[in-house]
Structures are given as C-alpha cells and as structure tokens.
Structure 1
C-alpha cells in the first residue's frame, strides 16, 4: 500500500534555527491540507518528503510515486508539450517508426498507446493541443491545465502541492479545485486558500510547538479549532525555536 511516513524528523535552517524536531506523520490514500503561518516550515516539509532536502535527524519513507504541478519557469523556444509530459524521446521514436526509420530496438521500445493516453489526459482538462505544440504558445491558464493533465497522465500515488493556486486566475484555480476534488490517491497540499482546503480529508496545522491533525476539511478544522477556545484569528502562532510537545506530535 502506498504511504508516506515521517519518523522523528528533524531539520534546521543553515543558521541553526530548528523548524522540526521528532516530527512524526503518516499519510496514505487521503488528501491532507498543511496550514500554518508563513515561515513555520510547510514548504520545507514538502521538500523533505520529496528528497529535495535531507533531514538532520530521523527520516522520510515514501512507498509509491510522487507527483507535482509543474510551475511555469523559463522556457526554451524549442520546448514542446511533449517536453512538459517528459515524453519527447518516446514521441521521436514513434515519428521515426511512422516514417519507417526506426531501428529494431526502437520498435521494440515504442509506446504505441502514448498519443492516445496523452490525448485522454488533455481532454480531461479541456485542452485540444498537439504534443508538438510549443510551450511558449500556451497562456498561463493553458499551462496550468496542461500541468494538471501531466498529473493525470503520470497517475502518481501522491501529489505534493505547495500553494498551487497562487497567482492563478479564476479558471486556473477552478482547474486545481477540480483536480483535488476528484483525486482518489494521496495528496499533501500546503495552502492558505480556504476554498481549496474545503476539498481536504484532513487538516494538519503546523505551529512552533509541533503539529496537530484535525479530521475533515477547512470548515471542520475551524469548528474544532474554535471549540478549543482559541481566539478566532490567532490560529497561526509566531514561529519560535521551541521543541515540539510530545502530545502534539502526529502519530
């Protein structure tokens, strides 16, 4: 069974500020929303899970595959949609095969269902574009939908999303909402977008004292948070270099 497990995870900034100590978390086929004040470590936690950062202590174990939404960065003029899907080489083999120029080894490796599967993923997000479409021709909204199509195409066991609706127009945000609302595998989403957090199965609140898990979406989290007699607008504590309390660490 696919699962993400963090055990006794510890990490400090280069200047020695401790963000996590003895941090435990287990995620399976569920959508988890990470919430907390800016600077408390949400993005860092995602990087520790993906392996982009190495923990100081403890470890992160991932059983299954990870997927992310590709952010629009500097694009080379020759890059196409096939590059975004990471299938350029596979498409080149198919084109050579169609022209009768492929080698025996290439024919053996050819993915004859590639175009069909890619078209199906693009159709799910309402995009009618070819694999050889230049990426520079895509608008911001089309890029977002194409990135979501890549996620459908790859079908990872887990999505790791860091503020996925930032800087998106309404159509882009709706595309992300629909992705998460219909996602059947696991997902960890760091976000301040309350509308997006309504689609979560659980909320994990990270503070300077540790992390607390709340069942349900954002509305349930707010209700439970308020029922604990916490002031309405103070759920984001100030970041401090404080060891987490053992009874607030996720098990």
Structure 2
C-alpha cells in the first residue's frame, strides 16, 4: 500500500476553547506538497495532529506508512552525543562490540540488517554539509542551524514513508539552506512542508492553501500558486464591482416600485372617495391592488436580498490581509547621533569585535554570517543578557532585543497582559488601542500567549517591545522572519518601514533584509566582525 495521509472531519481547539480547525477534510498523496496559509490558520497544528503529537477533538487522521516529523522549534539535549541524536547509538555500540570480538547474541539482534548504519550516517551528514561533525561530539558543540540539520539527518536515516517539515529553514544560513533544498528535491515519498521560504516552496509539486478552515489545491510550485491566486483575486474583485452595481440597481428598482405602488394606492383611494364604481367592485379592486402591491414589493426585496448575498460572497472571496501599523513618534533618532558603541569586545565562544564600532542615527544594520559564527551571541551581549569576556558595549538610547525564541512573552498571560508588563503606565484602553494596530483586536487581545501560532507569537512579542516604555530607539531583531508566513513578512516589512529608530537585524533571509532598506552590512566570519558591501552579502557556496 502506497504512503498517504487522510484527514476526515478533523477538529481541534486549544484548552481555553480557542478553535483552530473545524471539520477539516484534506488528503496528501505521493510527492512534495507545500502547505501555506496566514499565521494562525492551523498549519503547524495540522502537522502535529498528523504526527500524533496532538489529539483531535473530533474526526480522524489516517496515515499509511511511517511518519517522520521535523518541528518548527527543534530542541535537542545539549548533553547528547551526535550518534544518540541520530538514533543510531545502540546499533553503533553493538557493531563496535562485534568488531572487538564480542559475539553475544544481543549485539546481533540490535544490529539486525543495519550493518552499514555508520557509513549511512556519515554519508547523510556529508550530504547535509555536516561532514565535519564527529559522531562522538555532543550537541552542545554544534550551532542552532546545525542541530536542525542533525534532526533532519536523523529522520532521513529512518527512511520514513511520510516526511513532515515545519519551517525547516528557520535558523539555517545560506549554505545550510542549499543542503536542505537538495534533500527536499531528492525526496521520493510523501512530503508536507510548511514554510515561508520561497526558494524551498519552488521545489514542491503542489500547494495546499489552508484558509478559514478550508483547503484549496493549486498545481505546481509557489510561483504558479501566486499566478493562479492573482488571477483569482482579479476575478473576485471584478465580481465585487458587478455585485455592487447589481445591489445599487436593485435598490433603485425597489424604490421605483414603491413609488409606483404609492401612486396606485393614491389613485385607488381617490376613486373610492369619489364613489365612481359600486362599493363591492371598488373593494375587490382595492384588495387585488394590495395583493399585487405586496407581491411586487416582496419580489423586489427578494431580488435586493439576493444581490446583497452575492455581494457578500464576492467580498469574502477577496483576500484582505490587514497590515501592522506602527506609529511611535518617540522612537525617532536624529541623524548623526550615536546610539551604540562597541569597543574591543570579546565574546563568549570566541568571536570578537576589534576596535571601536559606532552606530549612528537611524541606521539600519544587517548582521549576516554562517550558523554558529556568533551573531546571536553578539546581540545578546549588546542587550546585556551575556557578559563579555573583555571590552564593553554602551547603548546611548533605550534599547530592546527580540530573540529568536520569542521568550519575552509569558505563556500564562494574555496578549494584552504581556504588553501591559512592558508599559505599566499605560491604561488598558491605551494598550488595546495599540494592540489593534498589531492586528490583535477585541477578543484576540485576550488570547493566551501559549496558544498563539509562531507568527502571532512574533507579532505579540514585537508589539510588547515596540509599545514598551520608554519607546525603543534601538531595536535589535534576531532572525525575525522565522515562523512568519508570506503575509506576515510583508506586515513586518511595513511595520519596520514606519519605525524611525535605529535597527540591527540578524538574518539569513536576504530578500527580507533588502526589503527593509538596510544601510550597512556587517559580516561575522571566522570570529571577526567585518564591514562588507551589499554586493558581498550573497557569500558564495
């Protein structure tokens, strides 16, 4: 039986009652499928339900074949050895025992038919660009991006029939992404990938668009999906214009009909008062006119109601993804003003910033470099979360740092309560008015932070920092586009366009960096921070 996934009448809600999926029908067959949709639509939840990490409130999930699942946030025990993380430690130990002359039966039972597991593991690591990592090293010695690839390597070694990938390029540098693209392109089973990475989504065979609890399928990669969607939206907007014109026409027809009926009633009343016909005839004529008038009115009202219903349907088909709006007048930094000074800085884990590095005015700085080069360590040191080995950093303006893990939020508190923690002087109405600009309107502001999707969690964390008191004039973001769908990346870009303070962004997402108007590029390489030109950013493989 070929591998497949079938979800029937699938429903799921969070413990606080927040609905995520309701009566969802979807099936995945062989090939690579990209699962897209706005943040909060239920993409990650669906993958967890398929992987068995969550239990549906109703409906069924049937999977034919073994499932391998790469979650959005990969966490591995730093004390594990690499072979343990790959799931081959027991087989490897048994092989080494046999090679040393120990012929105990349990060793052969452990090995089974997997005599080449060590060679396969090293080959898989090499294919993912991890050939330099020894199987006896510990996870604590590898970078966050390398740990993602290690988790993927573990899945590939298991050779599952179904592979689920949730934002797999998060935290991966340019080199690692290329390795992952190769692994995805060569996959021959069932694959479902959730991602905002356009280049990755160009490798899929079809796109499943999850929106408002329903799935629409589009053949081809993401570019074909975008073209089809654009055509659909143009048609939907035309239908709205047609439906609006029809509603106006039906309103005019109803008014005209009402005027005609009123004239007829006045004429009938006049004839009745003048008694030009027998009373019985006039009474019958009046009753017939009333019936006719009523039918005529009902007909026009029904036509108007139908026209309004068609308009509502047409409007619903037009996508209207709101944008984050940022209006923070106190974040502006005058040109030339020094906002940050870094002097002879030596960081934990070996990286350093030699001499004096100044950031002035509303500069927009991109911090790029390979996984494990020290970018996050530098940002955490500037933010005061890590002590430098030597040297010093001085922020001359209010500074806020948004880390990769978004751990500025308390999962036990609502979105509004989290923001209020950063702005204790703000009234509840002020907090909610500001949150509405970050698309948390009404009851959404009362949603528990623990139930937010990756993109919603990012939006809430960004709101908390942007609305903090005092307002941040230096904002540092570490891999901000991780977990964001395409619409959310556009929202973030719009938000940062209206931010008037200084900005430092560590990211591997080069199209995003180019879209936010970076004015200065810094490369962390071989333990040194270097200033580079924009042309040198796409460092070669």
- TM bin (shorter chain): 0.7 to 0.9
Tell me what 2:77 maps to: 75
What are the within-5 Å matches in structure 2 for residues 81-160 of structure 1? 81-110=82-111, 111-126=114-129, 127-160=131-164
Who is 1:59 aligned against?
A: 60
Query: How far does residue 234 in structure 1 lie from its aligned partner after superposition?
Result: 4.0
**Structural mapping, 1:162-173, within 5 Å:** 162-173=166-177
Residue of structure 1 equivalent to 2:215: 211
1:177 aligns to what?
181
Q: 1-side partners of 2:16 and 2:147: how far apart?
A: 37
Q: Which residue of 1 aligns with 2:14?
A: 13
Partner of 2:305: none
Deviation at 1:176, TM superposition (A): 2.0
Which structure is richer in relative contact order (CA contacts within 8 A, separation 6 or more)? 1
- Residue segments in structure 1 that go unaligned for 5+ positions in a row: 240-251
SS at match of 1:221: helix
RMSD between aligned alpha carbons?
2.7
Q: Distance in 1 between matches of 2:140 and 2:78?
A: 8
Q: Check 1:236–1:192 CA distance in 2 against 1; reply closer, same or farther (3 A cut).
A: farther
Query: What are the residue-to-residue correspondences of 1:27-66 with 2, within 5 Å?
Result: 27-66=28-67
Provide, for residues 133-186 of structure 1, a one-character-per-residue CA deviation record: whole Å limited to 9, x for no partner: 222222344334433332332211111111111222212222222221221111
C-alpha deviation, 1:74, in angstroms: 4.9
Give a deviation string over 1:182-229, Cα, whole Å, max 9, x none: 211111111122221111111111112522111111111111111112
Q: How many residues align structurally?
A: 239
Flag the structure with higher helix content.
2
Measure, in 2, the Cα distance between the counterparts of 1:219 and 1:168: 22
The 3 A distance-change label for structure 1 pair 60 and 160 is: same
Query: Deviation of residue 80 (structure 1)?
Result: 1.2
- Tell which deviates more after alignment, 111-120 or 160-169: 111-120
Is 1:141–1:171's contact at 8 Å kept on the other side of the alignment? Answer: no
- Give the structure 1 partner of residue 248 of structure 2: none
2:21 alignment partner, SS class: strand
Normalising by structure 1, report the TM-score. 0.84
SS of match in other structure, 1:40: coil
Q: 1:202 aligns with which of 198, 202, 206?
A: 206
**Residue 249 of structure 1: aligned partner:** none
Runs of 4+ in 1 over 6 A off after TM superposition: none
1: CA distance between counterparts of 2:321 and 2:50? Answer: 23
